[in-house]
Structure 1
C-alpha cells in the first residue's frame, strides 16, 4: 500500500518520550497487585482504563471505585471502557454506559474500543465523541481502532490506538504516512507476546513509528482464548525503568 512506511524506515525521531496507556487490568479483587502497582509514584502513566464488566457494569462496584480513586488521587487519568463493536453498538447504549461511568467512578475520559476505521462510519463516531465531550466538560478521548483508520479520525479524538495485536505482527508492522502530520502524542500501540529479549526492539519500533503511548506485555492471548492485558507483564519493573528514564539507543 503506497501510504505505508515500514517500521525500519519510519521518519519519526527515536528521542520520543514514551509513557504507558494501560488497556485495563482484571477486576481489582482478581488483580490487586496490578492496581496497587499503578499508583506507585514515578510510574510514567498517561492513562489507565477501568473496565468493570465489559463496560461499567449494572451497579456501582466499591472495589473499582476505590481503585479508580486511588489512581486519580495519584494524578493518573482514569478512562472508562466503551465497546463500539466496530460500529454495531447503538448510540444511546454507549451514552448510557458513559453516564454510568461518570456517575459511579468519576472517570476522566473514555477509550472507545473496537472503534470503526472506515470513512463511512466517521460521522457517527464523531457524533458519539462530541456527545461524550459535552458530558465530560473536559476529558480525554481515545479511539481504539487497533489499526490505521481513515485519516479523518485523527481530528476527532485526543489519541488513536493504531496498533493492537501480537509481537509477531508488530515487529514487521508498517505505519501510515499520514500519521507523520501529527505529533507522537496522538498515537498509541498495544502489543502482547513481546519476549523480554525483544523489549528494546519493540520500544525502538514505537519511537520509529511515532507513538508515544504504549503498552507492551509478555502475556499472550493464547490463540484468542485469554485477555493478554488482564495482568501485569512479567518484566513490568524493567520496562518502567526503561521508559521512565527515557532510555534510548
Structure 2
C-alpha cells in the first residue's frame, strides 16, 4: 500500500502562527500606546466668593491651588496672573505644595475678572474669580427721616438737637418734612429747630415728593425747591431729599431735569434720591446719594448689590443709603448697621428704627419718632467708624 503525506487545512495554521509570533517576541512591543493627556485643575483659594469686594488701590492677596491628574502639582509649576485695570506682583509665580500666590492692585472700580493660568508638564488649566472693586469707604453718616412735627412743648427734634454733638465723629443729617414740602410760608417751629440743629453741627435736607415720576409735574417740584430756599434759607439747608423716586429708565429724563435744576441753583446742594430699591445704573447720574433699600430689617439681611447691580461698587459708599424699620431691638439695629458698613453692601448713609410698618396693609409710621435706642445707634455708628467694639445693648 502506498502511503501519502498528511496535509494541514489552512485554518489550522492560524494557531501555529500565533504561537510562533508570540514566542518570537512580536505583538505588544511593536506599537507604543499614546500617553494620556494630563488634566490641570486651578481653584482660587483667596479671595473667596464671600470675600470678593475689595478696595481700589489696596494690596489684595490672591492665591490658587493647582492639581495635575488629581494630585498636587509639582513644585515650580508656573502660574500666570491677569486682569484688566490691575497689576500683579509677581505677574508669574511658581507653586509650592500645590499653592501659588501673588498680590494684586486694581486701578478702577466695578466688577473685575481675575484669571490664573497654571502650566504643568506642558498642559495648561485656568480659573477665573469675580471681584468687585470699590473706592475707599468714607465714615458712616446717620440719615434721619425726621417726619415729626417740632412742637414747642417738646419733640424728637429736641432729642436730635441735644445729641448732635454727643459723638463728634458721626455726621447726622435730618430730613425736614413740613407738609410734604408743599407750603407757601415758613413754619416758625421748623425754622427754630432747623436753626438750632445746624447750630449744633447737624445738617438738614428738605423733603420733596416726586410722585414716582408721574404723580407730580416738574414745575410743581421746582416750586417746592424754590420755597424751601426762600423761606428757610440756603445757609440752613444742605440739599434736598427726593422721595418717591422712580427706579426704571422710563422716568430717568424726569429726574435729570430736577437734578439739573437743583445743581443750577447751587452746585454744592446735595441731592438724595429715594427709589427705596436698587434702580437702573443711570440713576447714579441724577442723584448724589441713592436710598437703595427702604424696608424691614429682616429683609435687609439679604441685600446684595452683586445680584444685578454691581454698578454700585464703582461709587463710594457715601453715594448709597439705607432706611431700615422693624428693627425691633438694639441687637437687630446693630446687625443692620454692621451689614451696611460691610464691603458687600457698600452703604454710607444709615438709619434704623424699632417703629413698625407693614407694606402689605400700609399700616404704621416708622418715621413718626426716633427709635428707643437712638443714642445706642449713634454709639454703634461711632464704633464702626473708629473700628472699635460695638457698645453693649
TM-score, length-scaled by structure 1: 0.89
Q: Is the 8 A contact 1:55 1:81 kept in 2?
A: yes
**What's the secondary structure of 1:120's corresponding residue?**
helix
Higher share in strand: 2
Name the counterpart of 1:210. 346
Aligned equivalents of 2:171, 2:289: Cα separation in 1: 15
2:99 is matched with: none
1:141 aligns with 2:271: yes
C-alpha distance in structure 1 between counterparts of 2:147 and 2:218, whole Å: 26
Q: Which has the higher helix share?
A: 1
Q: Find the counterpart in structure 2 of residue 221 from structure 1.
A: 357
Alpha-carbon separation, structure 2, partners of 1:202 and 1:60: 36
- Determine if contact 1:31/1:231 at 8 Å carries over to the other structure: no
Task: Tell me the secondary structure at the aligned position of residue 249 of structure 2.
Answer: coil
When the two structures are superposed, what TM-score results if normalisation uses the length of structure 2?
0.57
Q: Where does residue 3 of structure 1 map in the other structure?
A: none
Q: Distance in 2 between matches of 1:220 and 1:111?
A: 22
Q: Which consecutive aligned stretches of 4+ in structure 1 deviate over 6 angstroms post-superposition?
A: none
| SS of residue paired to 2:323 | strand
| Residues 24 and 47 of structure 1, relative CA distance in 2, 3 Å threshold | same
- 1:133 is displaced (CA, Å) by 1.7
Displacement of 1:31 in angstroms is 8.8
Q: Which moved more, 1:79-88 or 1:52-61?
A: 52-61
Corresponding residue number in structure 2 for 1:86: 212
Q: Is the Cα contact below 8 Å between 1:25 and 1:34 reproduced in 2? A: no
Q: Secondary structure at the match of 1:198?
A: helix
Residue in structure 1 matching 2:223, options 83, 86, 96: 96
Matched-pair contact (CA < 8 Å) for 1:25–1:35: no
Which residue does the alignment assign to 1:152? 282
Q: Give structure 2 stretches of 5+ with no counterpart.
A: 1-49, 56-136
For the aligned residue pairs, the C-alpha RMSD in angstroms reads 2.3
1:201 equivalenced with 2:335 (yes/no): yes
Higher relative contact order (CA 8 A, sep 6+): 1
Say if 1:202 and 1:191 are closer, same or farther in 2 by CA, change over 3 A. Answer: same
Contact 1:19 1:244 in 2 (8 A): no
| Residues 1:171 and 2:301 aligned together | yes
